[in-house]
């Protein structure tokens, strides 16, 4: 829906219009304007500052119209999603594998730390041909999940969702 200014007998009026698709005579769907509400003459609502119609359209689109009678027609905000989680002890849903959680938690931590941009800028600066960030991710994940053993870190790289095989030159130690 949108606000439209039109003239009737030379006088500007405001109305609320929506676009609907109707079938024409040749069985094709075409857009057509449908008047939802006639607001009234423009001079009854104009508050003085310039570009009243543009400000009215912008405020209506934002959900806070300048004309109070338009508030019921404003698009309501996005409804909040509600999640209910119930996990019982001993349930198979109660634990997970690092492969399932590597992108959910650890990837976000790396992005917040700025490591993805750091590795990509390092790759561009040194003109390295391989994906430095892709190679570093499994190693960082392993060091975070099992900090006691460096060899176990390299062996568990296959446990993550994205994985670079041991044949890659960077992963061999």
In 10 A of CB 85, how many CB atoms?
5
Measured CA to CA, the distance from residue 113 to residue 93 in angstroms comes to: 30
- The answer to whether 9 touches 16, Cβ cutoff 8 Å, is no
Per-residue model confidence (pLDDT) at position 132: 78
pLDDT interval class at 163 (50, 70, 90): very low
Per-residue model confidence (pLDDT) at position 12: 92
Mean pLDDT, the chain, integer: 77
- The answer to whether 23 touches 10, Cβ cutoff 8 Å, is no
Give the torsion sign (CA, 35, 36, 39, 42). Answer: negative
Check residues 16 and 126 and name the one with the higher pLDDT. 16
Measured CA to CA, the distance from residue 110 to residue 138 in angstroms comes to: 12
**30-81: pLDDT as tens digits:** 999 999 999 999 888 888 888 899 999 988 888 888 888 888 888 665 566 7
Averaged pLDDT for residues 109-138: 80
Q: Which helix (H) or strand (E) holds 2?
A: strand 2-8
Averaged pLDDT for residues 9-34: 92
Per-residue model confidence (pLDDT) at position 82: 78
**140-153: pLDDT as tens digits:** 777 777 677 767 76
**70-118: pLDDT as tens digits:** 888 886 655 667 777 666 666 666 566 555 665 667 778 888 888 888 8
Range of lowest pLDDT (7-11, 113-117, 122-126, 150-154): 150-154
How is residue 95 annotated by DSSP? Answer: -
């Amino acid at each position: 829906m949108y606000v439209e200014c039109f003239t009737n007998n030379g006088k500007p009026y405001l109305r609320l219009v929506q676009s609907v698709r109707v079938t024409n005579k040749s069985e094709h769907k075409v857009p057509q304007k449908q008047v939802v509400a006639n607001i009234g003459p423009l001079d009854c609502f104009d508050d003085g500052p310039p570009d009243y119609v543009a400000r009215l359209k912008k405020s209506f689109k934002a959900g806070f119209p300048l004309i109070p009678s338009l508030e019921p027609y404003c698009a309501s905000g996005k409804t909040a999603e509600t999640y209910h989680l119930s996990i019982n002890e001993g349930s198979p849903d109660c634990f997970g594998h690092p492969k399932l959680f590597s992108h959910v938690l650890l990837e976000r931590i790396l992005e917040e730390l700025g490591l993805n941009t750091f590795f990509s800028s390092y790759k561009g600066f040194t003109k390295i041909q391989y994906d430095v960030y892709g190679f570093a991710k499994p190693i960082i994940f392993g060091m975070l999940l099992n900090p006691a053993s460096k060899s176990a870190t390299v062996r568990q790289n296959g446990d993550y969702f994205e994985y670079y095989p041991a044949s890659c030159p960077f992963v061999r130690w």
